[in-house]
Structure 1
């Protein structure tokens, strides 16, 4: 009973249960977005000629940046390495997808980009939790500074 109370009503948002939930969210949403990046990477040759170019930098470079945001940054997001820095391209990619690429589409067509955007902005704000590489690096730096 006490475990359920702590899970449903955590007294500390940085506790183990909250960090475990953050880890699960990082894994789930990171893998989901990574699948989009893998799909783009696998079809790079075909997509590079027709991929949208919302920034005016060319389709191949726009595709490369989308792959970076969806694949490389998702990996860093999952393990919590350079967490907030890695999330900037992810958030930017979802903003472009939602507001520019699907800007005039009905909401149903851009709903997935919106869900990713909301989750990533909230995760950016709350941080990775204590089950993240950044947390362990921060602890190591704190211990060295304390010597």
Structure 2
């Protein structure tokens, strides 16, 4: 019992999957709030939003909203999980290393926290409680059913 706690051998246990679900919900909602704020103030922000990639402020703002709002929703439910996380991670990389590059760490700390959490959870995967897991199980069931024919 204590060995399983100290040295877990099953990374996709129900406990781990519940923890991954909790992290997805918490960090997904937190990031989604940033996207909602940007979206609701699009007109005002589009003229002054940073343009670190040289593609124009409105497009940069639109990409940030996509990464923070749309991808957060997919992240929360675990749908196309790793694909949805790429824009989220990219947005935090740009925020931390480019937009706030010369700011004090206290200013860019939130982007750093999101970045680290998203990289770790990207590696960990969505867990059992995700749409991707359901789709994966169905694909596996169909594949094994077709081999039996």
TM-score by length of 1: 0.94
In the other structure, the counterpart of 2:72 is 74
Gaps of 5+ in 1: none
SS at match of 1:29: helix
In the other structure, the counterpart of 2:33 is 35
In 2, distance between residues paired with 1:9 and 1:39? Answer: 42
Counterparts of 1:1-147 in structure 2 under 5 Å? 10-147=8-145
Given the superposition, is the C-alpha separation of residues 72 and 20 from structure 1 closer, same or farther in structure 2, using an over 3 Å criterion?
Answer: same
Given the superposition, is the C-alpha separation of residues 44 and 77 from structure 1 closer, same or farther in structure 2, using an over 3 Å criterion?
Answer: same
In 2, distance between residues paired with 1:86 and 1:11? Answer: 28
In 1, distance between residues paired with 2:5 and 2:61? Answer: 41
Given the superposition, is the C-alpha separation of residues 78 and 24 from structure 1 closer, same or farther in structure 2, using an over 3 Å criterion?
Answer: same
Gaps of 5+ in 2: none
* Count of matched residue positions in the alignment of Structure 1 and Structure 2: 145
RMSD: 1.5
Given the superposition, is the C-alpha separation of residues 9 and 17 from structure 1 closer, same or farther in structure 2, using an over 3 Å criterion?
Answer: farther
Deviations 1:67-115 (A, max 9, x none): 0000000000000000000000000000000000000111111000000
